[in-house]
Amino acid sequence: MSKILVIEDDPAIRKAVAEGLRQDDFEVETGGDAEQGMEILGRFEPNLILLDLILPGKNGFEFLKEIKASVKLSKIPVIILSNLGDQEEVQQALKLGAEDFLIKADYNLSEVVEIIKKHLSKS
């Protein structure tokens, strides 16, 4: 069973994404900000991280930079799921090491799950 860490500050979105992934037999942990995400990574080894960019405190770009700088965490694929999406933000996320960049409004939950499965099958 693949493990997914979802870092999303909106409780309704976080809950919906987690429930959708669990229905597809993923083991899921969730956090509402980067600090919680790092705490979870201390005890949970995900196969993939689904990351929002707009977070309270440290934003998603900073979190991405931090995990990609870590020897232990740098190999974990990260997919950005955000309301942001101008070309500069997409390029910044990809340059920092994100595997993919999904704009929330452009995908329904089942499409997000399929994209996650595609990325997991590559790793």
pLDDT tens digit sequence for 28-37: 999 999 999 9
- pLDDT confidence band for 122 (50 / 70 / 90): confident
Q: Three-state DSSP class for 79?
A: strand
> Model confidence over 38-69: pLDDT tens digits?
999 999 999 999 999 999 999 999 999 999 99
Residue type, 49: I
pTM of the model: 0.96
- Report d(CA 102, CA 90) in Å as an integer: 9
Amino acid identity of residue 78, one-letter, is V
Whether 50 and 7 have beta carbons less than 8 Å apart is answered as: yes
Structural domains in the chain, CATH included, are: 3-122 (3.40.50.2300)
Kindly report the average pLDDT of the chain as a whole number: 95
Give the list of residues 6+ apart from residue 31 with CB closer than 8 angstroms, or none: 5, 6, 7, 37, 39, 40
49 token code pair: 């991280």
